[in-house]
Amino acid sequence: MSTLSQTRSHSGHKHSHAHHHHHDNVYLTSQNKNDAGVRITRIGLYSNLGMAIAKGAGGYLFSSKAMMADAIHSLTDLASDILTLATISWSLRPPTDKFPTRFGKVESLGSLGVSSMLLIGGLYMGYGSLLTLYGHFFLDPTAAAELLAHAHTHSHGHDHGHGVDVVPSLHAAWLAAGTVAVKEWLYHATMKVARERKSSVLASNAVHHRVDSLTGIVTLAVVLGANFMQNAAWLDPVGGLLISLMVVKAGAENTKEAILELTDKSIDGEVQASVRKHAQRVFSDIPEGHEIELRGVSGVKSGQNYLVDLEVAVPGDWTVEAIHETEDRIRTAVGSKVRGVRRVRVRFLPKDIVPPKFDEFIPGDVSPRSSPEPEDDDNHNHTHDHNGNGGRKSK
């Protein structure tokens, strides 16, 4: 099947709609604690808290400034987990009179927040790494120490002298390796749920876990390099710069997708094709189904929800009852077979009429002077006509 294009961080991964059944939709009405997205986010939150404590203690005991900085980074990731958890829980609520299209856009807002955190964090990390490299290679030790104290996240560690690094204990390598293993598992587990639900906020949070895994690899390289190589201090900023480039790329792409989702970009081509396939299958089971024509499939994505609009042409002599039955069959088939579809609206047209595209929208280029005026105000109408009709024809 074609690759998913809904979220760029998902690209290249295959996802089949062929085996979707009605029970796939039941998670929206279940308790939040049983939802896979909520569950994996809570696991990530607890993991970040545990690793922040472990890395903070390990960095202090093993004299590893890189690990101390990594501990503080894990604490900041708790904000991402909390935001993800809050938005997913909120977006799973059923529709209300005030919010008839559900709360999916809350998750879209959460995705924008999490991906923006990625983008800003990546830019800050890259800036700090560039300043650190500049200090290592172009400044004298005293000036470099002053610059590094303000430039790099590793300034959260404990300096022992002006720019003189204490060689971290080799035991810190085991802690760094454990961080990489846990974060890689969280990345794959979170991204799996994100792909299944096509959840942009989960995808952004999964990238956060991957970033933590990469920073763990850099920490591991710094610890090993400091123990087995001479003058290996440059490993840290170089690794940080490479990671920052990946973070900025992922953050920018996910931020773009979140903005497009909030501005009601149309559902992607794969979802449209799946909706079309299952809708057309209904026609073969309906008397005179060969007379039905599916002219258009559109819709928007709202968090994990798809709000789908169909345009269907039928013979002009069909009764209201026949149209209603056809609509009900289409809605049931599409809603039960295509994951994420939460609303299906069908617009029926006579087969011999082909209206222009987007004809259901009221023209928005009418100036205020030419807009219709209230007709039940005699005094107002008289004044209006006296002033030249204001663009309205006299009756």
Residue appearing with tokens 């995808």:
203
Q: pLDDT class for 188, splitting at 50, 70, 90?
A: very high
Q: Is 196 helix (H, G, I), strand (E, B) or coil?
A: helix
Quote the DSSP letter at residue 102: -
CA dist 33 → 41, 43, 183 (Å): 11, 12, 22
The residue count of the chain comes to 395
* Of 219, 134, 147, the residue nearest 176 (C-alpha): 219
Q: Is 299 left (phi over 0), alpha (psi -120 to 50) or beta?
A: left
Q: Provide the token pair at 161.
A: 């002298």
- Cβ atoms of 102 and 92 closer than 8 Å: no
The dihedral of CA 42, 48, 53, 58: what is its sign? Answer: positive
- d(C-alpha 202, C-alpha 206), whole Å: 6
Quote the CATH superfamily of domain 31-262: Cation efflux protein transmembrane domain (1.20.1510.10)
Largest CA distance in the chain: 94
Q: pLDDT class for 152, splitting at 50, 70, 90?
A: very low
**Least confident window among 142-146, 231-235, 306-310, 322-326:** 142-146
The domain ranges of the chain are 31-262, 269-350, 368-395
**338: CB partners within 8 A, 6+ apart:** 17, 20, 271, 274, 275, 278, 306
Taking all residues of the chain, what is their mean pLDDT, rounded to a whole number? 76
Q: pLDDT class for 162, splitting at 50, 70, 90?
A: very low
- What global pTM score does this model have? 0.64
Residue 370 burial (10 A CB sphere; 0-12, 13-18, 19+): exposed
- Cβ atoms of 310 and 297 closer than 8 Å: yes
What pLDDT is stored for residue 395 in this prediction? 39
Quote the CATH superfamily of domain 269-350: Cation efflux protein, cytoplasmic domain (3.30.70.1350)
- d(C-alpha 309, C-alpha 288), whole Å: 23
- For 109-178, the DSSP string reads HHHHHHHHHHHHHHHHHHHHHHHHHHHHHHS-HHHHHHHHHHH-GGGGS---SSSPPPPPPTHHHHHHHH
Q: What proportions of the chain, in percent to the nearest 5, are helix, strand and coil? A: 65, 10, 30
Determine how many CB atoms are found less than 10 A away from the CB of residue 214. 21
What pLDDT is stored for residue 353 in this prediction? 83
> Which of 26-40, 138-152, 207-221, 379-393 reaches the highest mean pLDDT?
207-221
Which tops the pLDDT comparison, 136 or 151?
A: 136
Which tops the pLDDT comparison, 169 or 316?
A: 316
Which tops the pLDDT comparison, 208 or 376?
A: 208
* Predicted confidence (pLDDT) per residue in 251-310, tens digit: 898 899 899 999 999 998 889 999 999 999 988 888 777 889 999 999 999 888 899 999
CA dist 98 → 32, 103, 177 (Å): 22, 10, 50
Residue appearing with tokens 């900023």:
237
Which tops the pLDDT comparison, 191 or 384?
A: 191
CA dist 55 → 29, 50, 62, 152, 291 (Å): 39, 9, 10, 18, 67
- Cβ atoms of 154 and 233 closer than 8 Å: no
